[in-house]
Amino acid sequence: MNRKIGFGLALFVLCGVFATWQPVVEVSAKEPVVVVIDPGHGGAAEPGAKAFGGYVEKDLTLQTALAMKQTLEKFEGVTVYLTRSQDEVLSSEQRVAIADDSRADFLFSLHYNAIETHHLYGSEVWTSAFGEYYAAGQTFGRLQLAEMAGKGQLIRGTKVHMSEQGSDYYSLIRGARNERIPCVIIEHCFIDNAIDRQLIDSPQKVSALGISDALAVAKYFHLKSPSLGLDYSDYTYVEVEAPEEGIFFPDCTPPEKVQLQIVNADRQTGQVDIRLSAEDAESGILYYSYSLDGGRSWSALVPWSVPGKEMDFSVCVPADSWPLICCRAYNGYDGWTQSNAQAPWILSVEERSSP
């Protein structure tokens, strides 16, 4: 594909008033498609995330990228480049320059996540917040996350992150947009969480993630591979539309409402049945957690795994204890709201059955 860019002025407000030029992508077909894969981090100075067990992000991203490249090169009509093929330091500007020099139609930056509290897990894709770059990134991101969901992975969503200045937060995405290149950052999983580590606990599994990334790219660009027996020429998917005002604002607020109701409490067995309702119109509910001591300590995060606004679950507490139960619900941007608290052994039957 050839990238042809027009420019328009988008005026928007975010923590003040800013004016910025917004590039708009118009795509016309050519062969081959040019894909640039960016293994995140690299070198002694930029190892990325580290986790117990010897997991280092810069090594995982390179292994994933090599498998992604090898798989994509088995498809027709695509040329694939890497920003690095060894352990070396590259700035965001250098990575974007490689993509620009290659006349890339898309820049895919591969990463693995970690957080100081070690409590998060799941896959997410970060995209530009602007116009057609948002549309391209969000469309691809949903294809990639569908591949991850097929591995049983929790999906955290396709997201945008804005700086205080009102531009894309991530310098790689920002720089790629300045060079008229669609770009996404793929965060495959949290390497510091035991739930997610099962995806990367062998070299074969790490390579399998790169193969999944390659298949998402092949679907996005409608590629085919006779050697693999795959033909996505007529593959259909929903294309995300560019926001009318040229920018998509991320969800900066916690869930609007979280309500706990004890449905049943059996003191002999210690089982307490809970109905938790939560609402977040912007980014949905992703996890919940519960506390048996009024909020002093909390359970691990549990996926909000059913559609709709309610989650039914049970907890078991010692019959001779006096628990005070409350919950938190987390949205797609990890904002949380705490529920009311209830003491199961004190509530009357009438209170438990009331809405």
The reported pLDDT for the residue numbered 30 is 54
195 domain residue, yes or no: yes
Residues 188, 280: one domain? Answer: no
- Kindly report the CATH number assigned to the domain that includes residue 41: 3.40.630.40
Is residue 25 predicted with pLDDT exceeding 60?
A: no
Residues 201, 320: one domain? Answer: no
Residues 128, 210: one domain? Answer: yes
- pLDDT confidence band for 284 (50 / 70 / 90): very high
Is residue 119 predicted with pLDDT exceeding 50?
A: yes
The reported pLDDT for the residue numbered 355 is 52
- pLDDT confidence band for 173 (50 / 70 / 90): very high
245 domain residue, yes or no: no
Is residue 277 predicted with pLDDT exceeding 70?
A: yes
d(CA 332, CA 339): 18
Q: What is the pTM of this model?
A: 0.88
Per the structure, the count of domains in the chain is: 2
The reported pLDDT for the residue numbered 306 is 79
Residue pLDDT, tens place only, 185-235: 999 999 999 999 999 999 999 999 999 999 999 999 999 999 999 999 999
- pLDDT confidence band for 308 (50 / 70 / 90): confident
Residues 220, 263: one domain? Answer: no
Residues 95, 166: one domain? Answer: yes
Percentage of the chain exceeding pLDDT 70 = 89
Residues 28, 170: one domain? Answer: yes
6 domain residue, yes or no: yes
Q: Three-state DSSP class for 336?
A: strand
Question: Mean pLDDT over residues 146-172, rounded?
Answer: 96
Residues 187, 54: one domain? Answer: yes
- pLDDT confidence band for 130 (50 / 70 / 90): very high
Contacts of 338 (CB under 8 A, 6+ apart): 258, 295, 326, 327, 328
Question: Mean pLDDT over residues 262-280, rounded?
Answer: 95
Strand order across the 78-82 sheet: 78-82, 33-39, 106-113, 183-190, 123-127, 155-160
Is residue 153 predicted with pLDDT exceeding 90?
A: yes
CB-CB contact of 241 with 135 (8 Å): yes
Residue pLDDT, tens place only, 333-349: 999 999 999 999 885 44
Q: Which domain holds residue 134?
A: 2-231
Residue pLDDT, tens place only, 40-86: 999 999 999 999 999 999 999 999 999 999 999 999 999 999 999 99
- Kindly report the CATH number assigned to the domain that includes residue 271: 2.60.40.650
246 domain residue, yes or no: no
Percentage of the chain exceeding pLDDT 90 = 84
Residues 216, 276: one domain? Answer: no
Task: Mark which of 231, 266, 294 sits at the end of a domain.
Answer: 231
241 domain residue, yes or no: no
Residues 173, 308: one domain? Answer: no
Residues 328, 265: one domain? Answer: yes
The reported pLDDT for the residue numbered 354 is 53
338 domain residue, yes or no: yes
The reported pLDDT for the residue numbered 291 is 98
186 domain residue, yes or no: yes
- Work out the mean pLDDT of the chain and round it to a whole number: 90
The reported pLDDT for the residue numbered 8 is 36
Q: Which residues pair with 107 in a beta bridge?
A: 36, 183
Residues 187, 285: one domain? Answer: no
d(CA 276, CA 282): 19
97 domain residue, yes or no: yes
Question: Mean pLDDT over residues 7-14, rounded?
Answer: 32
Is residue 28 predicted with pLDDT exceeding 50?
A: no
Residues 170, 69: one domain? Answer: yes
- pLDDT confidence band for 151 (50 / 70 / 90): very high
CB-CB contact of 4 with 26 (8 Å): yes
